[in-house]
A and B are shown apart, each in its own frame.
Chain A
Amino acid sequence: MTTLSDPPAESFKLSMLVYDTRYRAITFQIIALIAFLTLVGWLANNTIQNLADLGKEPSFGFMFEPAGYDINQRLIDYSSQSSHLRAAFVGLLNTLLVAVLGCITATIVGVIVGVLRLSGNWLIARLMTVYVEMFRNVPVLMWIVLCMAILIESLPAPSAFRGDDPASTMKLFDSVAITNRGVYVPEPLFARGLGDISVFGAFDISLDLIAILLVLGGSIFVSRRIGKKADATQEATGIRPRTWHIRTGVLLLPVIVLLGLLGFHFGYPELKGFNFAGGTHMRNSLIALWLALSLYTAAFIAEIVRAGILAISSGQSEAAAALGLRSNRIMSLVILPQALRVIIPPLISQYLNLTKNSSLAIAVGYMDITGTLMGITLNQTGRELETVLLGMLVYLAISLSISSVMNLYNNRVKLVER
């Protein structure tokens, strides 16, 4: 008979910190902690010493002082008397503007190119390959600078539009002026506008826009209800009632009526003096950045889409074909819903890349957060530490929020595995 007994209780010896695998992990972590704290302490110590030598005290008080510089591209009210904080906020909005515009365009172009690259048409597939390889293998900064150079050097100056026999004319029934100072497009105006509402006293939001969005949201809701009801009728009787005319009416009529009530009209750009006046002025820097970022990112998105579609086994499309679906129905009903699961995670990281790449705006003078906070504010106040750290935190916050929102979506569409 063997008797079971507890192993003899060992007394803890110091050498066990080194030789005993149970305790070694703790030792390693303590060493890592000490090394890390030493490094941080060393850096902090140096920083304090250096700042003291320079006579600067780290503080964020300068953010509330008047900025004293102008920002030509802005979405909210700003003047040179506004604070550095507001300048940074204007920059942040500009960053988000170009990021959102870029993401939308890049997705559209990327999906089209990615699908066309797989097309059976040899010539189209080759052309798309050329596009993808051309954009993927050349730095995005070069595309941005090149777009800017093309816009500035090759487009006509506003003076070319002057005279009885002008060298260039406005496009699209005299509504769009494409010049080397930017593109002027018609701006929406309201004769009987509702005015603005001030949010936290910081910036104004147009009540007209809110009203239009509310009405549009209501219309979409009603339209979807009609669609659901049609679905129910179809389920019950097998005959789908004709609803498209009602749905179109529900979608369009209220908005048209509202626009009429508000006195909606377009303000067209006109040549006045040396430049165009009226209309919305899209600056070259915005267009160059938007164009270059979306074309560059679209090349990557095209590859992601292509890989996603190729990842769906051919059995799926063969089975769909056996059911008698045509090729575009196979794509939209069978392949794409499955491919999206493969496509979305890398797509998120491309959106993130585009947002981070928008910081290259500084190369063409677009005033995003890098240009305002880490550019002019840094130079004017000499607060390198605070501005660069703040800028990094802003980008970090943007990146983390995009990735978390997209991860939520990703979790929702994720295939539930057995």
Chain B
Amino acid sequence: MSNTHADTVLFVRDTMLPQEEPPSSTVGPVGWAKTNLFSGWANTLLTILSILFVAFLLQRLLPWFIAPTWHADSLSECREIFVGIARHHEGACWGVIRDRWQQLMFGFYPSELYWRPILALLLLLVALGPVLFAHLVPSRVMIFSVIYPFILPWLLWGGTVWVSVVTLAGFAVGYGVYKLALRAVPDGFAVIIAAFGTIIWWLYLTGPIANGLASVLPLALEPVASRQFGGFMLSVTIGVVAIACSLPIGIVLALGRRSDLPLVKWLCVGFIEFIRGVPLITLLFVASVLLNIFLPPGTNFDIILRVMIMTTLFASAYMAEVIRGGLAALPKGQYEGADSLGLDYWQAQRLIIMPQALKISIPGIVSTFIGVFKDTTLVSIIGLLDPLGLATAIRADTDWNGIYWELFLFIGVVFFLFCFSMSRYSMYLERKLQTGHR
């Protein structure tokens, strides 16, 4: 039967046709534009409208942007420049940035001491190295990350180094007390006793000991008063301190909220919900007018420190909720596995639960960071000179009265760079830590 084929079929092709090129309208730039820009009448209309919009924006913005006003010393001088080159519309007056960028960066910090905030920022990058790029930086640098929060205030505010050193020594004292207490009581109690010891050290012993050491060996930098702080330096300082302190407090609050002990749980719930229920600005009002009333008579500490305390409390409530989400997302088997290995509560948290929960919560943690950093601008409302506060001051200056786009563009771009890089970094970290559980 098979032979009939050759008889009935007149022609059989025994070679393949060469592949044809795809139609030119489906490949290359034309094809791309057809699928992505002009795939229907609605899309075409949208595309044309957007192109017109972008063209209009560029046509208006570009001449404004490339105005030769870099060397102008006041807004009226800018206007003279525009009259001189006979432009029919105004351009940007970049002189204000040249004139005031140092102020926007450092506030009224003495200019001969600019090296200190700059060094602090560089050291911050070093300190963040092992946290951000754990696989690239040797883990010994981590020690530096731990002591950095104590170097930062000394560099910025100046004064004697011994306050930072003795405060740092509080942790060593706490650890010593913990080891001693461990001989008498179990783990949890030892932690409580150690915390007590550390607090007593900080409250009652740090001042006298630091003073004593400073009188023996004064290792001091020139002190800078808080009212000279300002600009992005202030924002970054408040942001970094709030972020660094809120993470541990947030972890403790999150654990407390998930605790089996009803009293601990309700205290944590009450704190978190209260802080999350009120705007940050009310907490800053507390910092500026009320905190002194809550503290022992005669206590009067720095406004920046008070703001940092309230911002930290604010950030830690949000951080706690983010971490609680991470804890809740862990499968129950992880907790049971830890129990079955015979680990106690803290060991299980440290070795099994927290590393995974924190990993899950990274996007949330970073977005809380970004939020806190943006929220540092609110301090301008209680009179601190952050970039926005300075912008108000500059706009009130007779030289620059009536200027706004250039200033806010500059401030906005700097904020954007900070926040955008943070969010991109969190995406990178998420991808890197993705170990394929899903």
Contacts and interface: CB of A to CB of B under 8 A. Distances in A.
A134 B416 contact: yes
Contact of B36 (A122, A142, A374): A122
B278 A399 contact: yes
A329 to B, nearest CB: 15
A123 B36 CA distance: 8
B290 interface: yes
A139 B288 CA distance: 21
Nearest to A53: B297
Interface of A: 18-19, 24-25, 28-29, 31-33, 36, 43, 46-47, 49-51, 53, 119-124, 127, 133-134, 136-142, 145-146, 149-150, 153, 356-357, 359-360, 362-363, 370, 374, 378, 384-385, 388, 391-392, 395-396, 399-400
Given A28-B261, A370-B282, A137 B36 contact: no
Secondary structure of the B side of the interface?
helix
A31 B185 CA distance: 15
Given A47-B293, A134-B416, A356-B279, A139 B274 contact: no
Given A19-B186, A33-B263, A388-B286, A145 B391 contact: yes
B374 A138 contact: yes
A50 B292 contact: yes
A138 B289 contact: no
Given A46-B296, A149-B404, A29 B262 contact: yes
B192 A139 contact: no
Contacts of B264: 28-29, 32
Contacts of B285: 374, 388, 391
Contacts of A19: 186
Given A36-B267, A46-B297, A139 B374 contact: yes
B192 A127 contact: no
Contacts of B51: 123
A153 B404 contact: yes
B380 A141 contact: yes
A29 B263 contact: yes
Contacts of A145: 388, 391-392, 408
Nearest to B47: A123
A124 B38 CA distance: 12
A240 B185 CA distance: 80
Given A50-B293, A137-B423, A356-B278, A24 B378 contact: no
A301 to B, nearest CB: 15
Interface in B379-438: 380-381, 388, 391-392, 395, 402, 404, 408, 411-412, 415-416, 419-420, 423
Contacts of B380: 141, 363
8 contacts: A120-B35, A123-B36, A123-B47, A127-B53, A142-B388, A145-B388, A149-B404, A395-B282
Contacts of A388: 282, 285-286, 289-290
Given A28-B264, A47-B293, A360-B378, A142 B415 contact: yes
Interface string B24-53: 000000000001110100010011001101
B290 A385 contact: yes
Interface residues of B, number: 62
A18 B415 contact: no
A182 B264 CA distance: 52
A134 B57 CA distance: 16
Given A121-B36, A370-B281, A362 B404 contact: no
Nearest to B408: A146
Given A24-B186, A124-B50, A356-B279, 9 more contacts: A29-B264, A121-B36, A123-B36, A133-B416, A137-B416, A137-B420, A142-B388, A391-B282, A395-B278
B277 interface: yes
A393 to B, nearest CB: 9
Contact of A139 (B260, B276, B375): B375
A46 B293 contact: yes
Given A25-B260, A138-B415, A153-B402, A46 B279 contact: no
Nearest to A152: B404
B411 A142 contact: yes
B9 to A, nearest CB: 39
Interface in B299-342: none
B378 A141 contact: yes
Nearest to B42: A121
B294 interface: yes
B243 to A, nearest CB: 15
A362 B370 CA distance: 23
B212 to A, nearest CB: 28
A149 B188 contact: no
Interface string B248-273: 00000000000011111001000001
A146 B404 contact: yes
The 9 closest A-B pairs by CB, nearest first: A137-B419, A149-B404, A122-B36, A356-B279, A399-B277, A359-B279, A139-B374, A396-B277, A384-B289
Contacts of B262: 29
Contact of A32 (B261, B277, B370, B388): B261
Contacts of A363: 380-381
B270 to A, nearest CB: 10
Interface string B66-78: 0000000000000
Interface centre among A32, A124, A137, A388, by most chain B C-beta atoms within 10 angstroms, is A137
Given A120-B36, A356-B279, A46 B186 contact: no
Nearest to A375: B285
A89 to B, nearest CB: 18
Contacts of A51: 293
A126 to B, nearest CB: 9
B276 A399 contact: yes
Nearest to A149: B404
Nearest to A126: B50
A123 B37 contact: yes
Contacts of B185: 18
Contacts of B295: 46
A24 B274 CA distance: 29
A121 B412 contact: no
B193 to A, nearest CB: 10
B412 A138 contact: yes
B131 interface: no
A256 B77 CA distance: 59
Nearest to A359: B279
Contacts of B391: 145
Contacts of A400: 273, 277
Contact of A384 (B276, B290, B370): B290
Contacts of B370: 137
